[in-house]
């Protein structure tokens, strides 16, 4: 009788195969499908259902890297993002 072991997936690997024009990214811990290539931060917020007023950060090597609202990036698949309400500012 053989016994199979459950081996957890590594967090660094994309949740789905990254083939074809549609790839998967993670926004706020939820997998989202998006067309690979040049994408604006506004498009990423739309895909993730994030309010445009919130800040979007990309997780790179375990660090949060803020993305400018008027910025853009090349999506290859497997990228991870988190959002949060903006902090600071004057009252």
| Model pLDDT, residue 87 | 84
Question: Which tens digit of pLDDT belongs to each residue from 46-78?
Answer: 999 999 999 999 999 999 999 999 999 999 999
Please give the residue range of the domain that contains residue 65.
22-84
* Domain CATH for 74: 3.10.20.30
The number of domains in the chain is 1
**SS (HEC) of 35-65:** ECEEEEHHHHHHHHCCCCCCEEEEEECCEEE
**Domain for residue 66, yes or no?**
yes
Question: Could you tell me the two tokens for 75?
Answer: 């999506």
**Domain for residue 46, yes or no?**
yes
Instruction: Give the model's confidence band at 88: pLDDT under 50 very low, under 70 low, under 90 confident, else very high.
Output: confident
11: pLDDT strictly greater than 70: no
Give the pTM.
Answer: 0.74
């Amino acid at each position: 009788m053989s016994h199979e072991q459950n081996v957890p997936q590594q967090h660094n690997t994309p949740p789905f195969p990254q083939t074809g024009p549609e790839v998967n990214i993670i926004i706020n811990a939820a997998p989202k499908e998006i067309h690979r290539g040049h994408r604006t931060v506004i498009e990423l917020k739309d895909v993730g259902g994030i309010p445009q007023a919130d800040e979007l950060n990309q997780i790179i090597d375990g660090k949060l890297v803020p993305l400018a609202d008027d910025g853009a990036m090349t999506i290859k698949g497997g990228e991870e993002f988190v959002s949060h309400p903006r902090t600071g500012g004057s009252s």
